[in-house]
Amino acid sequence: MKSGFPNAAATDPRQAAFDRALATFKGGDAATTIELCRIALEKESGDLLMRVLLGSALVRARQFKDAETELRRALDAKPDIPKALRELSSALFGQGRGDEAVECLRQIILSNPGQSVAHFDLSMALAKIGKADEAQAALQESFRLDPLRQKLFEAVRLHRDGKPKEAELRLRDVLREEPGNATATRMLGSIALEQKRYRLATRLLRNAVKLAPDYFGAWVDLSRALTEFEKTDEARTAVEMLIKLESELAHPYVLLGNLETKVGDYDAAIAAFERALDKQPDNGGALAGLGHALKTIGRQEQAVERYRSCIRKYPAFGEAYWSLANLKTFRFDDDEIAAMESHVDNKKLPDETRVNINFALGKAYEDRGDFENAFYRYDSGCKLRRPHESYDPVQTEAVHDRIVEVITPELIEAAAPHGDQRQDPIFIVGLPRSGSTLIEQILASHSMVDGTHELPDLPRVIKTINQWQVQGKGYPDALSLLEPVHIAELGAQYLDSTQRWRKEAPRFTDKMPNNFSMVGLLAMILPNARIINARRHPLDSCMGSYKQLFYRGQTFTYDLVELGEYYLEYQRMMDHWHAILPGRVLDVHYEDMVADQENQTRRLLEYCDLPWEDACLRFYETDRAVNTASSEQVRQPIYSKSINSWRRFETQLAPLIEILEPLLRKLPAEQRPTLLQ
């Protein structure tokens, strides 16, 4: 892991003690904050700042009576401490003494009647005790004192209500009146980040931290945006700034761990997550992130313990349950299943939490042979997830239509001599859950092949074509207009950008499955690349996707009809490539690999122009990081129990079978569903 984490330094021991306690409090560790404050107050009982911080931590720990005692002691010494009055209000509310809580907030206003935020807090408190008219009056006074606060308040409300466009309009109104408002700028950047508009998000958030260099929240969002935008170096700089601002918080180290995970440096990721847990031992993000990193490098027992630590601390932590299920080799016990059942239908929980638990329960029931309940849970998870995904099957078909029309044998023949002639890449395409990870693991066991993962670089080549806008056209229409120099540049761009994923081997894999629609583009810009199509029984492939909760992408997998239609599109595209590029793509059937591993492996290596190595048969001994749903399965010898697993759910798959009927009827009788016999 990169060294050089800054540490807080203070010459005054009393200030240093307060800074550490405050940072621990900001990190969400109320129990440790209470302990640190009490130790400090034993030495210096008159430290009002520490006393108020202790009261605040007790409020967060819901120890409201003790909090009241400490805060009143501070106020006895100095009656007009706004922070103490505000926290005392919270402590009194926690004890059901709402009227007294409101009076604390009124005292703040008496001391400083022109403070907008004090009137705002009073408004919220009055609303809690049912004094709606007084609450509205206090809110309006807050807005009168600070008119921009009203627009910011409305923007927050609109965003919370799922109206980001309206929220953006309010925020832009604020910026027209006050161009240097860092809060509005940060909020706009955060909305853009949520919408995955990473370029816009980074621009806005860079401006926010320029306006307010110590704005912790803006730096957090900027680091996330830069990580997603794959501006790795700049993202690391942003995280280092967060650590400098709050060296005792866990969250910056969690962000660093996520960044290192994204770039594939799992040792550095583990070190960052462990540093976060040093700061806050029960940090859910650090526990889950550490579990993911440990799983990826094959340390399964330690990963399981981290996930279970999440669940012990946060019993409704859906991501931890699914992470355990996604190990594929893990089995839930009765208590864990009961715990999931107690949360899964709780509509007060976020949809994504319930989605995770539904999929985990589906796996738990399937492992126990209860296929009816398993499908019910998979199906419930998909139905919850689908409204949150953006997928248009009509657009998919239209894009494929254009590709088929534009990319002809003549176009490929004319372009290929100008493409990059290196044969470094081996593309593994297909659909998810069709054996692509197994193929990659076999190839990565060869001394001449670097195994990478699902690389984002080929889709970026298409973005480049779209940015060029040759004669106003983008991909695929622009392909017929490209000059030879463009063809060479695109191939070189791909090979240059993938260099960061490689080590020293002369060849490397790229197993992004959705690249299947880009085979024609590959034949033009990388004519000597090898392309392997991972195939599996259509129903096993589709059901494997339907019961898999993907972190992102694969938006077509959460509806059986859409899933079936997408499979037909995949088949159409592969039929087209086989027709216009005979012999160029090697189909590898999962079932054949399981039945005859050695001969299929020899066939695979021969196609890739690689000499035989026995290690490819012992692929499960490879210690490389595997960052897919099959990570634990490919660390075992080949097994056949997943073949024809679709039959467990045959009755429920009727809508899918109907869509796939033209393909299924071409299969041998024993491979067809009963409905089509």
Decide which of 58, 78, 111 is a domain's last residue.
111
Task: Establish if 673 belongs to a structural domain.
Answer: no
| pLDDT exceeds 80 at position 392 | yes
Task: Establish if 120 belongs to a structural domain.
Answer: no
Task: Establish if 453 belongs to a structural domain.
Answer: yes
268-292 pLDDT per residue, tens: 999 999 999 998 888 888 999 999 9
* Mean pLDDT calculated for residue range 210-227: 92
Beta carbons of 493 and 385 less than 8 angstroms apart: no
Please give the helix or strand (H or E) that residue 194 lies within, else none: helix 182-194
pLDDT at 608: 98
250-266 pLDDT per residue, tens: 889 999 999 999 888 89
Joined together, the tokens standing for residue 312 give 């012990």
Which SS3 state, helix, strand or coil, does residue 353 take?
A: helix
| pLDDT exceeds 70 at position 626 | no
The whole-angstrom distance between residue 655's C-alpha and the CA centroid of its chain comes to 30
Beta partners for residue 533, in sequence order: 429, 587
> Which of 219 and 246 is assigned the larger pLDDT?
219
| pLDDT exceeds 50 at position 634 | no
Which pTM value belongs to this model? 0.76
Decide which of 67, 91, 111 is a domain's last residue.
111
Query: How are strands ordered across the β-sheet holding 585-589?
Result: 449-450, 507-510, 425-430, 530-535, 585-589
What CA–CA distance (Å, rounded) separates 666 from 477?
34
Domain count, the chain: 2
Task: Establish if 18 belongs to a structural domain.
Answer: yes
Task: Establish if 258 belongs to a structural domain.
Answer: no
| pLDDT exceeds 50 at position 8 | no
What CA–CA distance (Å, rounded) separates 561 from 670?
24
**What is the band of 112 on the pLDDT scale with cuts at 50, 70, 90?**
confident
Task: Establish if 179 belongs to a structural domain.
Answer: no
DSSP state letters, 110-135: HH-TT-HHHHHHHHHHHHHTT-HHHH
What CA–CA distance (Å, rounded) separates 181 from 188?
11
Task: Establish if 439 belongs to a structural domain.
Answer: yes
Closest CA to 256 of 281, 282, 280, 226: 226
What CA–CA distance (Å, rounded) separates 549 from 560?
14
* Mean pLDDT calculated for residue range 534-558: 94
Which SS3 state, helix, strand or coil, does residue 562 take?
A: helix
| Peptide bond connecting 476 to the previous residue in cis, omega within 30 degrees of 0 | yes
> Which of 247 and 382 is assigned the larger pLDDT?
382
The CATH number assigned to the domain holding 56 equals 1.25.40.10
* Mean pLDDT calculated for residue range 495-522: 95
What CA–CA distance (Å, rounded) separates 436 from 626?
12
Name the average pLDDT for the chain.
91
- Sign of the dihedral defined by the CA atoms of residues 18, 22, 23, 25, in that order: positive
Residue 63 DSSP symbol: -
Decide which of 60, 85, 111 is a domain's last residue.
111
Beta carbons of 530 and 524 less than 8 angstroms apart: no
Beta carbons of 547 and 378 less than 8 angstroms apart: yes
Task: Establish if 201 belongs to a structural domain.
Answer: no
**What is the band of 639 on the pLDDT scale with cuts at 50, 70, 90?**
low
Helix then strand count (H, E) for the chain reads 33, 5
| pLDDT exceeds 70 at position 558 | yes
Q: Of the given ranges (324-328, 442-446, 630-634), which has the lowest mean pLDDT?
A: 630-634
Q: Of the given ranges (9-23, 393-407, 437-451), which has the lowest mean pLDDT?
A: 9-23
Q: Of the given ranges (4-13, 86-95, 167-176, 446-455), which has the lowest mean pLDDT?
A: 4-13
**What is the band of 84 on the pLDDT scale with cuts at 50, 70, 90?**
very high
**What is the band of 1 on the pLDDT scale with cuts at 50, 70, 90?**
very low
| pLDDT exceeds 70 at position 81 | yes
| pLDDT exceeds 60 at position 632 | no
> What domain range is 84 assigned to?
1-111
* Mean pLDDT calculated for residue range 355-379: 97
pLDDT at 9: 42
| pLDDT exceeds 50 at position 3 | no
* Mean pLDDT calculated for residue range 489-495: 97
**What is the band of 5 on the pLDDT scale with cuts at 50, 70, 90?**
very low
Tell me the percentage of the chain whose pLDDT exceeds 90. 71
The CATH number assigned to the domain holding 438 equals 3.40.50.300
| pLDDT exceeds 80 at position 2 | no
* Mean pLDDT calculated for residue range 442-446: 95
pLDDT at 637: 65
pLDDT at 635: 47
